[in-house]
Structure 1
Amino acid sequence: MAMKLIHRDSVPHLNSKARVPATHIEHLADISSARFMYLQHLIDKELSNSEFQVNVQQAIKTSLFFVNFSVGQPPVPQYTIMDSGSSLLWIKCLPCKHCSADDMAHSVFNPALSSTFEECSCNDPLCRYAPNAHCGSSNKCLYEQVYIAGAGSKGVVAKERLTFTTPNGNTVLTEPMVFGCGHENGAEMESEFTGILGLGAKPTSLAVQLGSKFSYCMGDLANKNYGYNQLVLGEDADILGDPTPIETDNGVYYMNLEGISVGEKQLSGAELAMEATSMFYPLSEFDNVFCMAVKPTTEHGWQYKEFTAIGLMAQQYYNIAYDLKEKNVYLQRIDCVLLDDSSPSR
């Protein structure tokens, strides 16, 4: 099941200014720093049950791609943030504590109007995997998704059918999927966005529920008009290249890297080929000149722990595929247009 990924800079409300290469690089660096801090908190497991932050604006600022699909019967369109660091799909639902009039005009889901909506009880096997799961009145399974310096959502764990539109225009209706029906969400969340699509490794993740395989391919991050960025969930995932073993902890993906090289010089650490086409931006004023900046590990006052995050800049023009049952990740350099069913070249 393939679907288009929507570049954040193609959304007019989030892209009020045209960016020159220098400001674009600075923008990506800010996103990377915020993302790294979130991952460090997640790894340190500092998310406490009592902590609930409602500044969802930060989650939007640190996200580069969004996903469209519909929820319920009849289907209600949703516009969600793609996040591989969390393991729950949650959307805004009525009644909604922080929803504005603009929210009501942008597809806030009303479960009372759907013929296929079903709340999960505390006895449901997936209830205990929901973030900060606990029992509410009438034995309802409740969740509380927390994002350090980011978004938050509280609500009921439920099941609902999802409708996806593939790149070639076909629609796919799923069986009932576990998701979070959020009744108390980030007060600053833009009305255009209705939730977050978590693709982590826990059983509540949509990636796990749809078959434990998924892949994504992204082109030039600087090109908001590149139309072949895509996400594929389930058995149709594009499994390309050689397998690399991965481990998971608290829903986060890890793999061991063995060496690092810059040019032909091998350094100690992790193996990373820094390709000019995806890792550097040439300055038009200086032909054939590249600058490389490395931020200190104490940037923003944080002492980063001994782990490395492979960000989207390093993943440009790669197909990244996960097989969670076999515990493998696959990396294959490719132009995403070759994977798009709607492309004339395929």
Structure 2
Amino acid sequence: MAAHRRSDSRLHYFQSRQSRSSSINVPNAPLRPTLGEYVMSFYMGTPPIKRWAIIDSGSSLLWVQCEPCVECYEMNQPLFDPSRSVTFDKVTCSNIFCEVEYTASCKPNTNVCIFKETFGDGAVTEGDAAYEAFILEDTNGPNITLESIIFGCGHEITGAYDEDEAGLVGLSRDPYSFVRQIGALKFSYCLVPFYYLKTWSKILFGKQAQLTGNFTQMLKVKGQEEFYHVSLDGISVGNNRLPIKEGLFHANEKGEGGFIVDSGTTYTLLFKEGLDALISALDDEIFLDPAEDPYGRLHLCYYVNSINDFEVTPDITFHFTGADVVLPKIGTYTEVDRGIYCLAMKPTTDVSILGNLAQQNRIVGYDLDKELVAFAKADCTKF
């Protein structure tokens, strides 16, 4: 399953151009779930063509699949053809982007800047770096055209992607992420549960972003400055704090470990010591009929009629510095087979990650200026 492969690969995936004016009136964009991911819509090129691409707060550059395609995955959107756009222009090797961006390099014997992103499971996206015009649509106001955004025109893509995904929209703190290039120093999203495949919510940029609820500070971790690291200080089941060692989820001085909030990872990944303690505590408190994941991927599984059966189980609270966040039951347990639900968390020996399942029905806001991440409970189907 793509969600499992992408969650595992994110472990290994997780550093100047000045931002545009932060006063730019950037609108919202439609957002909907696919199989394990969330995609936002936008238009690109002149004449414009509509795209749906994964929102990924753990990636930098926006990229889409392009003609000519040497190796691409199948999708239900036509490939972007740069030869048909009058606003498409390749980035040259002398551009500062090609000198400082860690995914970029100069193509040998040419003046063309290329990009290459490699994932831990061997998936690779590579192609030309280019300028293009993008349009974000806003149902509450006029569309906004964003000129000369640097993006990746991918010609060779391998990896686990869904047919509804034309590429990735990088939302990290990197200077060349989409959110930084458009000058939106704030953004927020509300993720509807995955079984609402036909229900849209929104991703909000700039002044429209909603930052409310509980706030925790972003951290800058050595070698991982672009990611949204936060300090997870502990975990509780019900009113009981888990007996895990202090600093288990904190990065060390070498930049190893830590805890990242990431919209591009499906499952929450926890250091094995912490996950084992969580599973043990839940197993003592949950009195549902135990089951096993028939695919052997997840642990702590139960036979239930629906996700609503977990409402009688104790809450899981993540204690971030300054913010206690109760995980939604709808994103804490996931159906792996008919009538079998499992804890939607996996062990890691590397960085820990708050995946998008655990962010469902929450407004998650990012303030890149004040370096804050906010969490607020919400019904995202009404967002």
Q: Do these two structures clear the TM 0.5 threshold for a shared fold by scoring above it? A: yes
In the TM superposition, residue 124 of structure 1 has moved relative to its aligned partner by 2.1
- Distance change >3 Å, CA 193–CA 64, structure 1 → 2: closer
CA distance in 1, matches of 2:333, 2:125: 37
CA distance in 2, matches of 1:331, 1:295: 19
Check whether the contact 1:262–1:273 (CA below 8 A) recurs between aligned residues.
Answer: no
In the TM superposition, residue 338 of structure 1 has moved relative to its aligned partner by 5.5
Q: Could you tell me which residue of structure 2 aligns to residue 255 of structure 1?
A: 230
Check whether the contact 1:131–1:145 (CA below 8 A) recurs between aligned residues.
Answer: no
Which is helix-richer, 1 or 2? 1
SS in 1 for 2:96: coil
Check whether the contact 1:133–1:142 (CA below 8 A) recurs between aligned residues.
Answer: yes
Match 1:126 to one of 97, 102, 108? 97
Equivalent residue runs for 1:256-271 within 5 Å: 256-269=231-244, 271=319
Check whether the contact 2:5–2:160 (CA below 8 A) recurs between aligned residues.
Answer: no
SS in 2 for 1:326: coil
CA distance in 1, matches of 2:47, 2:381: 33
- Distance change >3 Å, CA 90–CA 254, structure 1 → 2: same
In the TM superposition, residue 328 of structure 1 has moved relative to its aligned partner by 1.0
Deviations 1:199-242 (A, max 9, x none): 22211110111223211101333332433x22123332122234
- Distance change >3 Å, CA 273–CA 152, structure 1 → 2: same
- Matched to 1:194, the amino acid is A
Check whether the contact 2:63–2:152 (CA below 8 A) recurs between aligned residues.
Answer: yes
Q: Could you tell me which residue of structure 2 aligns to residue 214 of structure 1?
A: 187
Q: Could you tell me which residue of structure 1 aligns to residue 355 of structure 2?
A: 311
Deviations 1:307-326 (A, max 9, x none): 43212232121100111222
SS in 2 for 1:235: helix
Give yes or no for the alignment of 1:41 onto 2:12. yes
Give the share of equivalent positions with the same residue, in percent: 28
In the TM superposition, residue 148 of structure 1 has moved relative to its aligned partner by 2.3
In the TM superposition, residue 69 of structure 1 has moved relative to its aligned partner by 1.5
Q: Could you tell me which residue of structure 1 aligns to residue 120 of structure 2?
A: 148
Residues 78-87 or 253-262, more deviating: 78-87
Residues 259-268 or 241-250, more deviating: 241-250
Match 1:246 to one of 218, 225, 241? 218
Residues 326-335 or 162-171, more deviating: 162-171
Match 1:66 to one of 39, 44, 62? 39
In the TM superposition, residue 74 of structure 1 has moved relative to its aligned partner by 0.8
CA distance in 2, matches of 1:99, 1:277: 34
- Matched to 1:86, the amino acid is S
Deviations 1:49-90 (A, max 9, x none): xxxxxxxxxxx9974212222111110222222222211111
CA distance in 1, matches of 2:191, 2:237: 23
Deviations 1:171-203 (A, max 9, x none): 221122110111222388666543222222211
Check whether the contact 2:187–2:209 (CA below 8 A) recurs between aligned residues.
Answer: yes
CA distance in 1, matches of 2:154, 2:95: 18
Q: Could you tell me which residue of structure 1 aligns to residue 156 of structure 2?
A: 184
Q: Could you tell me which residue of structure 1 aligns to residue 52 of structure 2?
A: 79
Check whether the contact 2:331–2:344 (CA below 8 A) recurs between aligned residues.
Answer: no
Q: Could you tell me which residue of structure 2 aligns to residue 110 of structure 1?
A: 81
- Distance change >3 Å, CA 153–CA 281, structure 1 → 2: closer
CA distance in 1, matches of 2:40, 2:92: 28
SS in 2 for 1:197: strand
Deviations 1:139-178 (A, max 9, x none): 2211111122264221111111101222447422112211
- Matched to 2:169, the amino acid is L
Check whether the contact 1:89–1:196 (CA below 8 A) recurs between aligned residues.
Answer: yes
Deviations 1:234-290 (A, max 9, x none): 3321222343111241532210022211111122455253454553579xxx9xxx9
Equivalent residue runs for 1:188-207 within 5 Å: 192-207=164-179
Check whether the contact 1:129–1:204 (CA below 8 A) recurs between aligned residues.
Answer: no
CA distance in 2, matches of 1:213, 1:195: 22
CA distance in 2, matches of 1:187, 1:291: 27
Check whether the contact 2:43–2:50 (CA below 8 A) recurs between aligned residues.
Answer: yes
SS in 1 for 2:9: helix
Check whether the contact 2:11–2:120 (CA below 8 A) recurs between aligned residues.
Answer: no
Give yes or no for the alignment of 1:328 onto 2:372. yes
- Matched to 1:89, the amino acid is L
In the TM superposition, residue 296 of structure 1 has moved relative to its aligned partner by 7.0
CA distance in 1, matches of 2:88, 2:371: 32
- Distance change >3 Å, CA 274–CA 111, structure 1 → 2: closer
- Matched to 1:114, the amino acid is S
In the TM superposition, residue 94 of structure 1 has moved relative to its aligned partner by 2.3
- Matched to 1:252, the amino acid is F
Q: Could you tell me which residue of structure 2 aligns to residue 343 of structure 1?
A: none
- Distance change >3 Å, CA 129–CA 151, structure 1 → 2: farther
Q: Could you tell me which residue of structure 1 aligns to residue 332 of structure 2?
A: 279
Q: Could you tell me which residue of structure 2 aligns to residue 98 of structure 1?
A: 71
Q: Could you tell me which residue of structure 1 aligns to residue 196 of structure 2?
A: 223
- Distance change >3 Å, CA 246–CA 35, structure 1 → 2: farther
Check whether the contact 2:39–2:53 (CA below 8 A) recurs between aligned residues.
Answer: yes
